[in-house]
Amino acid sequence: MELELQEAHQQARAAALEDELTGLHNRRAFYEFGGQLLRHAKRHASPLAMVMMDLDYFKQVNDTYGHDAGDEVLRQIARLLQNRVRESDIVARLGGEEFALLLPDTTIGEAIELTERMLEMLNELVIHHKGRSIHASASFGITRLIVGDQTLEDLMHRADRALYQSKDQGRGRVSTCSD
The string of DSSP letters for 56-81 reads TTHHHHHHHH-HHHHHHHHHHHHHHH
Select which of 4, 97, 98, 116 is catalytic: 97
Q: How many helices (H) and strands (E) does the chain have?
A: 6, 7
Active site residue 97: yes
95 vs 65: CA distance, rounded Å: 20
Which contiguous run of DSSP H or E holds residue 4? helix 2-16
The dihedrals phi and psi of 142, each to the nearest 5 degrees, come to -125, 140
Residues with active-site annotation? 97
